[in-house]
Structure 1
Amino acid sequence: MSKNNLQVYIHIVFCTKNRGVLISDTIEKKLYPFIWSVIEDNDCTPLMINGMPDHVHILLKMDSKVSLSDLMRFIKGKSSRFLNENYSFLNGFEWQRGYGAFSVSSSQVSQVADYVKNQKHHHVEGFIIENIEL
């Protein structure tokens, strides 16, 4: 085999500092495409990004050349810089330290993508993930 074939899917969740309610609908329309491009710039494949005013969910496919910790450092660092440069009223926006990252079976990717896509609905309804291998 002349090329690496990596089938590693990761569901990532990270929060604003102190779970501040800072990501408005207006901000997320710019933030999520920005994060998407950071993921692509690091040779990974973004599959779905969504979230709530205090946290972000990402579903992506990893690349063999990238470590998860490096990818998260780029995502969080570049996106916080983007937010501070474009939304000065956020007064020194920061992400909370750390993140959650969960492996996703290839058979569950579409189910997890739907979960990420429908974040706002899930939070309104108090939805809990069931029968998903995370």
Structure 2
Amino acid sequence: MEYRKGSHRIYDLKYHVVFCTKYRYRVLTGQVADRTREIIREICAANYIDIASGSMSPDHMHLLLSIPPSIPVSKAVQYIKGKSSRKLLQEFELLRKRYWGQHLWARGYFVVMVGHVNSNEVQKYIEEQEMHHKRDDFKISEF
């Protein structure tokens, strides 16, 4: 286990964060997806947030983040969604046409704190999301 260190603190706080594009439009593909990854890496680095793992689907993304205790999770997600939305809409005319209200991401998000015991399981789950979304099978589960 590797702990992060700051002034007067040692910590290991990991959060599984999931958020979607507004209206679940499938716009996170090709150059938009590549640029989204770059922007989110820049935002996280500027705010001392480590990305342990991440996966992007055309309409949502999963991130396993290590956030310093001085930054509330809600504020970290606000930074990531707000700044990435603004930059992506500035750079891609396709997105400006689709999202004329200047909001790329849907309002809410999912977050769960990940303990040391299951952080490897969550990381594996996130990494497997790409393979899961590449399959276009349709299964009906029995109740």
TM-score (norm 1): 0.84
Query: 2:20 and 2:51 mapped to 1: Cα distance?
Result: 18
Name the larger-Rg structure. 2
Unaligned 5+ runs, structure 2: 1-6, 138-143
Q: For 1:43-82, what aligned pairs fall within 5 Å after superposition?
A: 43-82=48-87
Report how far residue 117 of structure 1 moved. 2.1
SS at match of 1:106: coil
Report how far residue 96 of structure 1 moved. 0.3
**Matched AA of 1:113:** Q
The answer as to 2:132 corresponding to 1:122 is yes
**Matched AA of 1:46:** I
Count of residues paired in the alignment: 125
Unaligned 5+ runs, structure 1: 127-134
Find 2:91's aligned residue among 86, 100, 110.
86
The answer as to 2:115 corresponding to 1:110 is no
TM-score (norm 2): 0.79
SS at match of 2:118: helix
SS at match of 1:63: coil
Indicate the percent of aligned positions where both proteins have the same amino acid.
29
